[in-house]
């Protein structure tokens, strides 16, 4: 009995130490980017963050894409015992399982297939082809196995045993070759993804497949827009509705076009049913200026009510009720912020890109974290800031009820960051990074020219920051320790470690030595 | 209201918004004064303007720009580039020339200056600062962009390069990025980058300095203009500046048979023929080398209004006016023949400025004339509309309607069956913009007292749901249909 007690205590301890997971891009199906189970990293020690290891993979970048955000499972039963595994996908159809404690590759897979007949342009960063969707890891089955769902560049969904890299079942078609898929999400037994930009001539839509369905029927909803290119795909609310931004395009009910908006669809029976949508009232102006709605929303609870935030290149944040997005006319949000940035209304290099984050502090205050690129708007004056913002920053908003109405109240704006990307938050610390990516798509002397070689050449290096989540104060900066930039990547955090993969196919693991 | 009815209304309104937005996102162009090679003043169908909606026209912006207090054309009507994907974002730009030798790019959505470029006077001839009504000085020619040479309304989308497509090298006067071409008061040709206003190439002398230059027209890589009268001893001539040569070569046709009093500039026929109205003749010149192809001796002498080329059924007609106020309608093919052509002519009217033309959905071709002075029940001035009709195998003009009274109306512009007419007003009064039903002349909208001064006589522009003009105090006005920002 005493032995059993000791074993249990050890198990609990292990669970505390390494039990947290980050099984999907954005941390959870709601894409809050909030790691609730972090205990190692705190505001009072995060200033001692170090690079614990960095691992260079044999993954060839395609266009500007390279590594997708790692997924973390704290405890995976392997032949060599329990291990904490980071699963990293590379755009050249590579999959790596990394032993986090050792910083070594446990196994690697490469998905082979004949070269697709169609692909993107030779230097087009929008359509790189290959594996572009962050995988997702399902819960443990009865035998304790974890399955990673991985969408290869040929559009086949693979079922990969996380411990071994084996594929116990044959892959199924879940998309088109070189169609640009975005991060997978998992709700029950249904895997979701989104596609955009018509890469290789493929449709832009929400995709779903029930992996428990013997027929593996592929279900889609197409909002007839320019593309659903929220970086982390669709976010899923408590009723199973997958919400995705629709990029640019026209809003036209008779022809069921829902461009420049946010659409929600849910699997009912064996169909993906369109359920609701929100279109900003100035969508026509946004369309004209190419200020897409292209940010994966974050869905969260606020005093017992589910809410959703989404943003756009225009650099406004919309607060929505997932049960009635946009009200009766689908164009009235619960709250719309002023422009935080993008005063010039540029389509490239400014605005909110990727996703957002949300967390709740111990006092019950609900926070929303918004990354943006470019200078802050001259009329946006948060109560706390840290010098002029020229290249990007993180803005923290509080969800509040004022005179019976919900609003997003600015709390702080971080220091300047070179293209601030979606942050993650854990244990009172916000982790953010400036990607260092060159995002130029048009030039004064050449006009529109979105070219990977030009952008790669002009890119700089990424920088990781740790911020006090209450005040936005910088607690840590990686300075110039990261030597390459990040495009289409992202942060992951679990069990005292923060991960970031760069264009040169290097995975960085930051943490506290000895922890 | 029932749920179904609300849904229907919502559906209808959203559908209309979608149509409007789609048209907006494409971005129509107005690349030259008068809108096209024929200077028709007609934009065709504009998705944001209709007879039903034009009553909701609003003053969207007014913008004070730098001008010199001389002449009646301190600001020129803007050229419109419906969609520029610039390094600063997607823009609809209005390029405005000022007699202070400045070209402005105005953000047409926001009514703000996107860039401005002062064209430095830089030639050996000293700058003439004196000003007379005939020779006002400063920059006098509305700039131009490349103009499609085929007759018909504009509104076609700007051909934006595909994402990732390499832009051509900028090493001559036509290749590479889109450009605005302007001739400054020193007679130098400028090729300006539409994104920045920078001179893409070193400006080059193509015309005599200090001459009065008419509105530019760029067709098939040749810029046409006229210098007249002989301001500061410059020549009376028609000019063709060939941009395919580097440096550009200027050919000229000396106007020995009379001066050109107006500023409208040449118009281009469907086959590229260059038509110029002088005080004595209507000239038809060969494109490029400007060799004389034919002419029409205008009875009583030509007026200061420029000619107009229009398509009527399968024929091209040329419209010109004489000093006595008659409108002459000629078959282009007879003008180009060896015999002196025969024209149909209207009753005399006090026409000032150029004519405009459009074609309705039934195929009826209309000609609109700004008339200064009494015409019917309009004592001060009016826009007078004619239909082109066929009588005994001959095209004739049939009076259709006379508008409400206006003071010194400018050549009207037309969009979606709506005529926009500007009562320029007299010194010390205010201009008034009117929208008229193009089929009947009925007033659909009036700006009333929204304009603070009398209007520049340089003309109007209509494009993408907006109407532009300027006033003598150097203020640019943008009226249009509201779009939420």
Output the pLDDT for position B9. 43
Assess contact for B484 and A282: CB atoms under 8 A.
yes
Q: State the residue range of the domain holding B153.
A: 25-157+172-269+360-371+405-480
CA–CA gap between residue B359 and residue B375 (Å, rounded): 24
Contact at CB, A285 and B25, closer than 8 angstroms? no
Instruction: Determine the distance in angstroms separating the CA of A440 from the nearest CA of chain B, rounded to an integer.
Output: 8
* Predicted complex ipTM exceeds 0.95: no
Instruction: Determine the distance in angstroms separating the CA of B170 from the nearest CA of chain A, rounded to an integer.
Output: 8
Show Cβ contacts of residue A303 under 8 Å, excluding neighbours closer than 6 positions.
Answer: A364, A366, A401
Cis peptide leading into residue B229 (ω within 30°): yes
Instruction: Determine the distance in angstroms separating the CA of A341 from the nearest CA of chain B, rounded to an integer.
Output: 14
Contact at CB, A344 and B89, closer than 8 angstroms? yes
Taking 70 as the pLDDT cut, the residues of chain B under it are 1-27, 149-171, 257-258, 261, 338-339
Task: Evaluate whether residue B298 is within a structural domain.
Answer: no
Contact at CB, B11 and A250, closer than 8 angstroms? no
Contact at CB, A449 and B87, closer than 8 angstroms? no
Contact at CB, B21 and A257, closer than 8 angstroms? no
pLDDT tens per residue, range A3-20: 444 443 433 344 444 689
Q: Return the number of other C-beta atoms located less than 10 Å from residue B158's C-beta.
A: 16
Chain A residues within an 8 Å CB radius of B81: none
Count CA atoms closer than 13 A to A118's CA, side-chain side. 12
Nearest-CA neighbor of B228 among B220, B237, B239? B237
Contact at CB, A289 and B86, closer than 8 angstroms? no
Show Cβ contacts of residue B220 under 8 Å, excluding neighbours closer than 6 positions.
Answer: B149, B272, B287
Output the pLDDT for position B23. 42
Nearest-CA neighbor of B213 among B194, B242, B192, B234? B234
Contact at CB, B17 and A123, closer than 8 angstroms? no
CA–CA gap between residue A200 and residue A178 (Å, rounded): 6
Q: Which residue in chain B is spatially nearest to A258 when comparing CA positions?
A: B18
DSSP assigned state of A46:
G
Contact at CB, B15 and A448, closer than 8 angstroms? no
Task: Evaluate whether residue B10 is within a structural domain.
Answer: no
Number of Cβ pairs closer than 8 Å across A and B? 120
Contact at CB, B195 and A282, closer than 8 angstroms? no
Q: Judging by beta carbons within 10 Å of its beta carbon (0-12, 13-18, 19+), is residue B139 exposed, middle or buried?
A: buried
pLDDT tens per residue, range A232-261: 999 999 999 999 999 999 999 999 999 999
Q: How far is CA A287 from CA A54, A430, B107, B483, B485, in A?
A: 42, 33, 16, 12, 11
Q: Which residue in chain A is spatially nearest to B159 when comparing CA positions?
A: A448
Output the pLDDT for position A48. 98
Q: Of B15, B88, B89, which is closest to A252 when you measure between CB atoms?
A: B15
φ, ψ of residue B25 in degrees (nearest 5): -70, -25
Chain B residues within an 8 Å CB radius of A123: 164
Contact at CB, A451 and B164, closer than 8 angstroms? yes
Q: Which residue in chain A is spatially nearest to B10 when comparing CA positions?
A: A329
Buried b (16+ CB within 10 A) or exposed e, B286-311: bbbebeebbbbebeeebbbbbbbbbb
Task: Evaluate whether residue B20 is within a structural domain.
Answer: no
Instruction: Determine the distance in angstroms separating the CA of A323 from the nearest CA of chain B, rounded to an integer.
Output: 19
Q: How is residue B244 written in tokens?
A: 């395919």
φ, ψ of residue A439 in degrees (nearest 5): -115, 20
Question: Which of A198, A443, A448, A455 best probes binding to B when mutated, by most B CB atoms within 10 angstroms?
Answer: A448
Chain A residues within an 8 Å CB radius of B90: 288-290, 345, 347
Output the pLDDT for position B258. 64
CATH of the domain at B214: 2.40.128.630
Contact at CB, B160 and A448, closer than 8 angstroms? yes
Contact at CB, A290 and B89, closer than 8 angstroms? yes
Contact at CB, A346 and B14, closer than 8 angstroms? no
Instruction: Determine the distance in angstroms separating the CA of B188 from the nearest CA of chain A, rounded to an integer.
Output: 22
Look at the alpha carbons of A339, A247, A268, A185 in this order and tell me if their dihedral is positive or negative. Answer: negative
Contact at CB, A445 and B89, closer than 8 angstroms? no
Chain B residues within an 8 Å CB radius of A346: 88-89
DSSP output for A57-111: -----BTTB-BPPPEEEEEEEETTEEEEEEEEEETTTEEEEEETTTTEEEEEEE-
Output the pLDDT for position B149. 64
Contact at CB, A447 and B85, closer than 8 angstroms? yes
Contact at CB, B88 and A346, closer than 8 angstroms? yes
Assess contact for B430 and B12: CB atoms under 8 A.
no
- Express as a percent the part of chain A with pLDDT over 90: 94
Tell me the CATH class for A18-511: mainly beta
Chain A residues within an 8 Å CB radius of B28: none
- Do the strands A34-35 and A424-426 form a parallel or antiparallel pair, or are they unpaired? parallel
pLDDT tens per residue, range B158-201: 334 444 444 444 458 998 888 999 999 999 999 999 999 999 99
Place of tokens 């005063």: A343
Output the pLDDT for position A16. 43
Average pLDDT over residues A84-88: 98
Chain A residues within an 8 Å CB radius of B25: 250, 284, 287-288
Q: Is B471 left (phi over 0), alpha (psi -120 to 50) or beta?
A: beta
Look at the alpha carbons of B313, B314, B320, B326 in this order and tell me if their dihedral is positive or negative. Answer: negative
Q: Return the number of other C-beta atoms located less than 10 Å from residue A124's C-beta.
A: 20
CA–CA gap between residue B281 and residue A25 (Å, rounded): 76
Place of tokens 């974890």: A146
Q: Which residue in chain B is spatially nearest to A443 when comparing CA positions?
A: B87
pLDDT tens per residue, range A198-209: 999 889 999 999
Task: Evaluate whether residue B200 is within a structural domain.
Answer: yes
Instruction: Determine the distance in angstroms separating the CA of A425 from the nearest CA of chain B, rounded to an integer.
Output: 32
Q: Which residue in chain A is spatially nearest to B464 when comparing CA positions?
A: A288
Buried b (16+ CB within 10 A) or exposed e, B423-455: bbbeeeebbbbbbbbbbebeebbbbeebbebbb
Q: Which residues of B touch A (CB under 8 A)?
A: 6, 10-11, 14-15, 17-22, 24-25, 83, 85-90, 92, 109, 160-167, 170, 176-178, 193, 195-196, 198, 483-485
Show Cβ contacts of residue A302 under 8 Å, excluding neighbours closer than 6 positions.
Answer: A366, A399, A406
Average pLDDT over residues A95-119: 96
Q: Of A344, A348, A445, which is closest to B170 when you measure between CB atoms?
A: A445
CA–CA gap between residue B366 and residue B349 (Å, rounded): 17
CA–CA gap between residue B117 and residue B110 (Å, rounded): 19
Domain ranges in chain A are: 18-511
Task: Evaluate whether residue B283 is within a structural domain.
Answer: no
* Number of domains forming the structure of chain B: 1
CA–CA gap between residue A233 and residue A151 (Å, rounded): 13
E-strand stretches of B220-363: 222-227, 237-242, 249-254, 267-268, 274-277, 281-285, 292-297, 308-312, 315-321, 327-331, 344-345, 356-359
Q: Judging by beta carbons within 10 Å of its beta carbon (0-12, 13-18, 19+), is residue B127 exposed, middle or buried?
A: middle
Chain A residues within an 8 Å CB radius of B484: 281-282, 284-285
Tell me the whole-structure pTM to 2 decimals: 0.92
Q: Return the number of other C-beta atoms located less than 10 Å from residue B217's C-beta.
A: 28
φ, ψ of residue B229 in degrees (nearest 5): -70, -175
DSSP output for B189-207: EEEEETTT--BSS--EE-S
Contact at CB, A121 and B17, closer than 8 angstroms? no
CA–CA gap between residue A239 and residue A299 (Å, rounded): 12
- Do the strands B58-64 and A506-511 form a parallel or antiparallel pair, or are they unpaired? unpaired
Chain A residues within an 8 Å CB radius of B117: none
Instruction: Determine the distance in angstroms separating the CA of B202 from the nearest CA of chain A, rounded to an integer.
Output: 15
Instruction: Determine the distance in angstroms separating the CA of A467 from the nearest CA of chain B, rounded to an integer.
Output: 31
E-strand stretches of B343-380: 344-345, 356-359, 365-372
Average pLDDT over residues A39-53: 98
CA–CA gap between residue B20 and residue B52 (Å, rounded): 14
Q: Which residues of A touch B (CB under 8 A)?
A: 121-126, 250-255, 257, 281-285, 287-290, 328-329, 344-348, 440-451
Average pLDDT over residues A54-83: 97
Q: Judging by beta carbons within 10 Å of its beta carbon (0-12, 13-18, 19+), is residue B123 exposed, middle or buried?
A: middle
Task: Evaluate whether residue B398 is within a structural domain.
Answer: no
């Amino acid at each position: 009995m005493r032995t059993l007690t000791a074993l249990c205590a050890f198990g609990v301890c292990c669970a505390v130490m390494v039990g947290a997971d980050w099984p999907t891009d954005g941390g959870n199906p709601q894409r809050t980017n909030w790691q609730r189970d972090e205990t190692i990293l705190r505001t009072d020690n995060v200033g001692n963050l170090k690079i614990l290891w960095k691992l260079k993979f044999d993954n060839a970048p395609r266009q500007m894409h390279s590594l997708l955000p790692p997924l973390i499972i704290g405890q995976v039963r392997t032949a060599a015992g329990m291990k904490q595994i980071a699963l990293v996908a590379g755009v050249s159809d590579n999959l790596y399982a990394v032993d986090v404690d050792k910083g070594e590759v446990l196994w690697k897979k490469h998905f082979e297939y004949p070269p697709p007949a169609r692909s993107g342009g030779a230097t087009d960063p929008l359509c790189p082809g290959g594996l572009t969707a962050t995988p997702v890891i399902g819960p443990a089955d009865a035998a304790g196995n974890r399955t990673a769902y991985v969408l290869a560049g040929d559009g086949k969904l693979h079922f990969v045993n996380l411990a071994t890299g084996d594929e116990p079942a044959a892959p199924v078609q879940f998309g088109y070759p070189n169609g640009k898929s975005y991060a997978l999400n998992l709700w029950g037994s249904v895997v979701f993804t989104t596609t955009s930009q018509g890469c290789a001539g493929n449709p832009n839509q929400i995709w779903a497949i029930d992996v428990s369905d013997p027929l593996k029927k592929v279900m889609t909803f197409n909002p007839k827009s320019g593309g659903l290119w929220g970086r982390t795909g669709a976010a899923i609310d408590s009723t199973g509705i997958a919400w995705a931004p629709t990029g640019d395009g026209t809003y036209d009910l008779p022809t069921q076009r829902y461009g420049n908006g946010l659409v929600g669809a849910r699997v009912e029976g064996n169909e993906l049913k369109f359920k609701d949508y929100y279109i900003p009232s100035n969508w026509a102006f946004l369309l004209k200026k190419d200020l897409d709605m292209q940010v994966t929303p974050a869905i969260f609870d606020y005093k017992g009510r589910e809410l959703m935030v989404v943003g756009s290149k225009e650099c406004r944040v919309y607060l929505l009720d997932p049960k009635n997005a946009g009200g009766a006319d689908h164009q009235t949000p619960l709250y719309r912020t002023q422009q935080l940035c993008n005063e010039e209304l540029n389509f490239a290099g400014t605005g909110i890109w990727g996703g957002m984050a949300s967390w709740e502090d111990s006092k019950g205050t609900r926070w929303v974290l918004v990354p943006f690129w470019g200078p802050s708007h001259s009329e946006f004056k948060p109560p706390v800031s840290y010098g002029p913002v020229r290249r990007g920053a993180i803005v923290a908003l509080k969800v509040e009820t004022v005179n019976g109405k919900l609003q997003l109240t600015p709390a702080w704006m971080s220091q300047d960051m070179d293209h601030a990307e979606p942050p993650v938050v854990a244990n009172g610390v916000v982790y953010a990074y400036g990607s260092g990516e060159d995002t130029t798509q048009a030039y004064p002397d050449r006009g529109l020219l979105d070219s990977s070689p030009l952008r790669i050449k002009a890119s700089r290096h990424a920088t990781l920051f740790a911020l006090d989540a209450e005040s936005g104060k910088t607690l840590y900066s990686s300075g110039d320790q990261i030597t390459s930039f990040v495009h289409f990547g992202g942060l992951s955090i679990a069990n005292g470690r923060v991960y970031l993969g760069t264009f040169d196919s290097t995975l960085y693991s930051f943490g506290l030595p000895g922890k | 209201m029932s749920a179904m009815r609300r849904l229907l209304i919502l559906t209808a309104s959203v559908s209309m918004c979608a149509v409007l937005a789609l048209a907006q996102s494409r971005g129509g162009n107005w690349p030259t004064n008068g809108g096209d090679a024929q200077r028709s003043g007609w934009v065709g169908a504009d998705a944001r303007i209709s007879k039903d909606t034009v009553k909701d026209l609003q003053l969207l912006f007014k913008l004070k720009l730098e001008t010199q207090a001389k002449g009646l054309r301190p600001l020129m009507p803007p050229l419109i580039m419906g969609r520029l994907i610039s390094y600063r974002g997607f823009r609809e730009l209005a390029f405005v020339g000022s007699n202070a030798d400045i070209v402005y790019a105005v953000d047409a959505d926001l009514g703000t200056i996107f860039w401005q470029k002062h064209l430095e006077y830089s030639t050996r001839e000293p700058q003439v600062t004196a000003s007379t009504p005939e020779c006002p000085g400063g920059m006098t020619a509305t700039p131009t962009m490349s103009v499609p040479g085929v007759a018909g309304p504009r509104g076609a989308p700007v051909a934006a390069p595909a994402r990732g497509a390499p832009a051509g090298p900028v090493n001559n006067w036509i290749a590479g990025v889109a450009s605005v071409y302007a001739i400054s008061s020193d007679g130098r040709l400028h090729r300006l980058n539409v994104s920045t206003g920078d001179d893409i190439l070193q400006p080059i002398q193509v015309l005599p300095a200090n001459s009065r230059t008419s509105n530019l027209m760029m067709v098939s890589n040749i810029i046409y203009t006229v210098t007249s009268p002989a301001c500061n001893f410059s020549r009376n001539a028609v000019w063709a500046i060939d941009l395919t040569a580097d440096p550009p070569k200027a050919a000229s046709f000396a106007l020995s048979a009379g001066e050109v009093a107006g500023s409208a500039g040449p118009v281009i026929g469907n086959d590229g023929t260059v038509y110029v109205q002088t005080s004595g003749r209507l000239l038809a010149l060969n494109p490029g080398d400007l060799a004389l192809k034919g002419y029409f001796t205008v009875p009583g002498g030509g007026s200061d209004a420029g000619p107009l080329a229009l398509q009527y059924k399968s024929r091209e007609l040329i419209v010109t006016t004489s000093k006595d106020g008659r409108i002459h309608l000629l078959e282009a093919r007879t003008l180009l023949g060896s015999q002196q052509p025969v024209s149909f002519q209207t009753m005399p009217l006090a026409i000032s400025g150029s004519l405009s033309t459009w074609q309705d959905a039934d195929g009826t071709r209309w000609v609109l004339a700004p008339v200064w002075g009494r015409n019917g029940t309009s004592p001060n001035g009016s826009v007078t509309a004619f239909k082109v009709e066929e009588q005994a195998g001959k095209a004739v003009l049939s009076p259709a309607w006379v508008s409400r009274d206006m003071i010194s109306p400018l050549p009207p512009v037309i969009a979606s069956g709506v005529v926009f007419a500007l009562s320029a007003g007299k010194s010390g009064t205010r201009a008034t913009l009117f929208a008229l039903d193009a089929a009947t002349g009925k007033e659909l909208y009036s700006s009333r007292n929204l304009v603070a001064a009398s209007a520049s006589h340089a003309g109007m522009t209509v494009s993408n749901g907006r109407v532009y003009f300027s006033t003598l105090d150097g203020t640019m006005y943008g009226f249009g249909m509201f779009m939420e920002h």
